[in-house]
Structure 1
Amino acid sequence: MTNVFSIGSLNMDIVYQVSDLPKPGETVQSLSCKLFPGGKGANQAVAASRSGASVWMIGAVGDDSYGEALRRALQADGVRTETVHSIEGDTGTACITVDAFAENHIVLAAGANGRLTSSDIPEWIWGEAALIMLQNEIPWQVNRHVLAAARERGILVIMNAAPAMHIEEDVLPLIPILAVNETELEMISGQRISGRIDAQTAAESLIRRGVSTVLVTLGSEGSLWLKSDGECLWTPAFLVDPVDTTAAGDTFIGAFAAEYASGVPAQQALRYASAAAALAVTREGAQSSVPGREEVLHFMQP
């Protein structure tokens, strides 16, 4: 199996189901409240593992009950957790409100994720990793360190720029694959996105600024894969009735990473990832919604 490393966040998700998302100043009654293992780094690790990759998680949890629960959840999915550090204090949490149309609002508390440092990344990973996944729920200086070290050693990195934030110009040429949704693409490119044409124009601008490959997910409009060598692929979405979109993007990226790192062509890996994400939105929760490989392959059959 291919070694994939996820360097990122681990959160306990506190999910409230509501009829309508609250307006500013409004209090609404929830229909239910449940706890789910989450965090973008951990979600992507689980998605890659369930799609057949050998996955290591590098991150930090607090010395509380949430931290131990998150570690056990990863282990149950076959993700290696020896490099998940326990730090004094609270584990990261996310408060997620999901309405009847599967739209959500998310508020993060970084907890231990915010105290991860570059020194927490062991040197031995550079000889083992075929692909590294990064996200924006850990300190930015850690991501910068990983991008530079991976570039020096020729290791493929998928930088998922979520939550949306500005990326410095000198970092863009260090990114082999930049994975973004519409909001994140707008933030980084500085261009307004409204549909496929705008997305491709903005992605082209990032290629000119040094990014090697841009992967844009556009929900029901599918995804765009644009490389600096001119390769351009549009992959349609699988249409389903959504229940909870919380981990759709993480599922897409983790599933794609597992396929692509194993040598599967981009077009095939993107279609597989699209199917995995479609299945994920039909279920509640983050990691609990991620499908396994056989289920995805069955779903893809005509």
Structure 2
Amino acid sequence: MMQQNAARANIFVLGSFVAACSAKVLTAPRAGESVAAEAFLLEAGGKGFNLAAACRRLESAVDGLFAIGDDALSALAEPALIHAGLPAGMLRRRRGPTGAGVGFISASGETWVAVHAGANMTLGAADARDSGSAIAAADMTIAQFETSDAVIAEAFALARASGRRTLLTPSPFRPIPPAILSATSILCVNRVEAAALAAQLGLPDADDVGALGAALFPHGPEALVVTLGAEGALAALPDGALLIQPAFAVTAVDTLGAGDAFAAGLAVALCEGHGWTQALRRAAACGALVASRFGVFDALPARDAVDAMTQDGSRP
């Protein structure tokens, strides 16, 4: 249990900045079909930006690394970071396109997303080393897969060498290199990514989260968290414990960004000293609050909203 007046978390995010376009549709278009959108939104996004903004909204100190290109979309980045309360010094400017993504959100809240990482993939080991002091000072370093393996591997190695924890959300999924997996403290995946991870480990059944965790732990991670949307989340721990976190009852409007909010909420709660049970509950509240609104940035919950939902399932 977290002690009263515990210090706020200090999080380092290996980011991605993406100009995120989303269209609200009745159903996703089929091949060759054009559909009318009920709403359209262009906002600052990307998994890394969402993670950083979500941690900041939860009153954590946040630093990190984002790369943007030299095109028109790059102009979205600095104002977005300032608006989110994030330091503009997180940005690295590179030649080439800024990351961009397109998402469809159906009436039921289901999503289909395509992302071009663009400049985000230019971050490398040298960039991580340049931020070595900030990584060493952070309680936890978080990464996702809209950036390069090289920058993640180096940053995670620096964090672990300093006795700090790391959290990886490997989305969009690609096989996780051993150098990254061995330096990952907490692996947070959704159902689809869990299946891909099981295949990488040679397991026939991704639904057995306990078995997946047992196969994973010898490779480095100390915890496996699998998010299941409306079915909640499961966490496997090395002592054999399997924790079950039910989902909060909300009407899903747009699930884009819900997984990022969950991961941010989990990271912040653990860094603040919450035990696993309460940390999962706070993470689930973060995801539910985002899923209940259209768009991501404005839906990222403030700390008091998470407090209210975890206390009685309501909103402030």
Shorter-chain TM range is over 0.9
Displacement of 1:215: 1.2
| Shift in alpha-carbon separation, 1:56–1:126, aligned structure 2, 3 A | closer
Q: Any idea what the Cα deviations from partners look like across 1:69-113, whole Å, max 9, x if unmatched? A: 222222222222312112233211101111111111111111211
Tell me if the contact between 1:96 and 1:107 (Cα under 8 Å) persists in the aligned partners. yes
Pairwise CA distance, 1:66: 2.8
Determine which of 248, 253, 256 is the counterpart of 1:238: 248
Question: In structure 2, how many angstroms separate the alpha carbons of the residues matched to 1:291 and 1:193?
Answer: 34
The 1:211–1:301 alpha-carbon spacing in structure 2 relative to 1, beyond 3 Å, is closer
Match of 2:69 in 1: 62
1:139-159: CA deviation from partner (whole Å, max 9, x where unpaired): 112212222222222211001
CA contact 1:10–1:61 (8 Å) conserved in 2: yes
Instruction: Return the alpha-carbon distance in structure 1 between the equivalents of residues 269 and 71 of structure 2.
Output: 35
Range with greater deviation from structure 2 (265-274 or 231-240): 231-240
Equivalent pairs, count = 300
Q: CA deviation at 1:203?
A: 2.3
Write the mapping of 1:1-302 to structure 2, written as runs, cut at 5 A: 1-121=8-128, 122-169=131-178, 171-190=180-199, 191=203, 195=207, 198-302=208-312
SS in 2 for 1:174: coil
- CA distance in 1 between counterparts of 2:93 and 2:150 reads 20
Superposed displacement of residue 44, structure 1: 0.6
Shift of 1:204: 2.3
CA RMSD, 1 decimal: 1.8
Preserved CA contact (<8 Å) 2:194 2:206:
no
Which aligned runs of 4 or more in structure 1 are off by greater than 6 angstroms? none
Give the % identical residues: 31
Q: TM-score, normalised by structure 1?
A: 0.93
Describe the SS at the equivalent of 1:134: strand
Distance 1:238 1:131 in 2: 26
Match of 1:241, SS state, is: coil
Q: Is the 8 A contact 1:213 1:225 kept in 2?
A: yes
Q: CA deviation at 1:170?
A: 5.2
Stretches of structure 1 that go unaligned for 5 or more consecutive residues are none
**Cα distance, 1:133 vs. partner?**
0.6
